[in-house]
Copies of this chain bind each other. A is one copy, B any other.
Amino acid sequence: MPLYEAKAELFRLLGHPVRIRVLELLQERPMPVRDLLAAIGVEPTGLSQHLAVLRRSGMVTAQRDGSTVVYSLAGGDVAELLRAARQLLTQLLTGQHELLSELLQAETKTR
């Protein structure tokens, strides 16, 4: 399997708000499903499905503790990826902002 396909697959797995929130929350500390549920505010069934996706990808691990299930980030440096994403986002946004400014300025010049 080519590397670029694996990358695309990874990004696709990250491409959902709930899954992003889960990863961000687990970055602080391991958490039982109950807490994730309360923090995110989504149907249990939906959360379970998103957790299953993350589990299958190996990004998080689950372990039962009594009747609750506690999720943790597995090994990899997810934080670094999220950080890079935030950085790129701000760069893209300021880029668009600059472009907009230029357009507005050109607009006023022609008047």
Contacts and interface: CB of A to CB of B under 8 A. Distances in A.
Interface residues of A, number: 42
Nearest to A98: B75
The copy count of this chain in the complex is 2
Contacts of A96: 58
B81 A77 contact: no
Question: In terms of DSSP, what is the predominant structure of the interface of chain A?
Answer: helix
A65 interface: no
A58 B92 CA distance: 6
A111 interface: no
Nearest to A24: B4
Interface of A: 2-17, 19-21, 24, 57-59, 74-78, 80-89, 91-92, 95-96
